[in-house]
A and B are shown apart, each in its own frame.
Chain A
Amino acid sequence: MSEDKKLTSEKAFEKWLDRSDLVEDEQSQQVQSNTNTNEETVWQERLKTAQTVEHQVSLEAEHKVPHWDRSAAFESDKSPWWQWGGLPAMSMAFSMFAMALVLFKVELVMKDDGVLLTFAGSTQAQINQVSYSQEEINVLVDAKVDQKLQRFASEQQVILANYVADIKVKQQDSNLQLASYLIGATRKERKEDMGDFVQYINDQRADDSLDNKIKFQQLENEINYQAIKTQRTNYQPKTIKSQNSDGLGLTTKPASWTSEE
């Protein structure tokens, strides 16, 4: 019976500790009610201790964290390029390559027809070898000069041909412009001449008409004068009245003559 009570108290205490909140009070009461034996006293004391601890935990305020470098633990895997692991090995490889170039006297000669890679000073040996035969050098130089000259001549021919073609085109343009100008100028001059000629004719006609007018005026005056003179010399008023003023049946003025003219 006592063993059963112990088990019940222990279970109730465990449940209380595990926060079965809905039955907390009931279990707490159950634990508190079993106060008969020494075993129960032990559980009672444990319960009190647990409650005290809980009470003090609830009163405890959280402490502030002192300032510290929060990113100190952060170690990124992405290292900068200059910390790349293969860099020393690559550096070593390039050093070895450079040493090999120096040791084997590697030379890289740029030529007109390509690039020449030589080892152990073979180029110098070739040069030295060539320097021994002066005639071959002369022949090579002549051939080179000829080749250069031919190339220069062909280039010049091309340049000249282009120049001639340009000149021709320019000349054609100039001729065309000149012809256009001449035609235009001739037309203008003809137009001006014709205008002057017409003006001259008109002026001439005006002069003629004026001249004619003067002549007619003189003639009229003369006729008038002759008529007056005749009247004075042959004064026959009755007979003359029936005739014209000039006595010949002619009028001194044309039919269309006006006093203004």
Chain B
Amino acid sequence: MFERSDETLVKQALNGKKSAWVTLVKRYEKKLYNYTLRMVSNPADAMDLMQDVFVAVFRSLSTFRGDSPFKGWMFKIAHYRCIEFYRRKKPTQSLDDVPEQFDESNDECPEYHAVSGQQATALHKAMKTLPVNQKLVVELKFFQHCTFDEIAKQLGISVNTVKSRLYSGLDKLKDHLEFDYV
């Protein structure tokens, strides 16, 4: 009825109130899970990554000062954990390279196809062809509707780099998407 603010829940969680933390998790777990699912294209990995993000968020909870919204702060951590996830999977591969082997293995995952909608499948397939850095910018731009400045702040890069990555990503997506509806 009276929804507590994120800041209140954070304070209560820091004071040791488990129910406040669970409420906070329930509030954002869906968005975070869908984000991780889009980023890693595998439900099991997405689940692991989401839990990893929540663990990192809880451990850094005391550093949250409330200057920026909790959601943005949490997703910033999520981006870093996502990049770490890719680095851990393929330590030798650059984040600007297409994670070919990784994506190929996920194409065969029936569970992912079961949870994916028909309309979104084409987009997901197309996004798999993008390098992690470009995929991250496309995610922030089109799924989370961030401006260039916000993306640059969240990823800690310049606006020009964001634009460059986005345009490169769009150029790659163009080859894998159909433009029938346009």
Contacts and interface: CB of A to CB of B under 8 A. Distances in A.
Q: Which interface class (under 10, 10 to 19, 20 to 34, 35 or more) fits B?
A: 35 or more
Interface residues of A, number: 34
A60 B117 contact: yes
Nearest to A56: B123
A19 B181 contact: no
Contacts of A93: none
| Secondary structure class of chain A's binding surface, majority of residues | helix
Contacts of B67: none
Contact of A66 (B47, B167, B178, B182): B47
Contacts, number: 106
Nearest to B172: A49
Given A73-B58, A74-B58, A57 B123 contact: yes
A61 B179 contact: no
Given A46-B171, A76-B16, A53 B177 contact: yes
A60 B116 CA distance: 9
Given A50-B170, A60-B123, A65 B18 contact: no
A52 interface: yes
B115 interface: yes
A53 B22 CA distance: 34
A74 B13 contact: yes
A95 B178 CA distance: 79
A17 B177 contact: no
Interface string B157-172: 0000001001100110
Given A53-B138, A62-B34, A70 B29 contact: yes
Given A63-B33, A65-B33, A57 B182 contact: no
Contact of B16 (A19, A46, A56, A77): A77
B123 to A, nearest CB: 4
A68 B50 CA distance: 11
A150 B55 CA distance: 81
Interface string B23-44: 0011001110110010000010
B21 A71 contact: yes
Nearest to B22: A70
Interface string A56-91: 110111111110101111111110000000000000
A14 interface: yes
A45 interface: yes
A18 interface: yes
Given A18-B148, A19-B147, A70-B26, A54 B142 contact: yes
A38 B100 CA distance: 31
Given A57-B123, A60-B120, A72 B177 contact: no
A140 to B, nearest CB: 66
Q: Which of B37, B55, B123, B163 has most chain A Cβ within 10 Å?
A: B123
A51 interface: yes
A68 B48 CA distance: 10
Interface string A217-234: 000000000000000000
B18 A75 contact: no
A48 interface: yes
B65 interface: no
B55 to A, nearest CB: 4
A75 B58 contact: yes
29 contacts: A17-B166, A19-B145, A45-B171, A49-B171, A49-B173, A49-B177, A53-B142, A53-B173, A56-B119, A56-B122, A56-B123, A57-B143, A60-B117, A63-B116, A64-B30, A65-B29, A66-B43, A70-B21, A70-B25, A70-B29, A71-B21, A73-B21, A73-B51, A73-B57, A74-B13, A74-B58, A75-B58, A76-B16, A78-B16
Cβ-closest 5 pairs across A and B: A59-B119, A60-B120, A56-B123, A73-B55, A49-B174
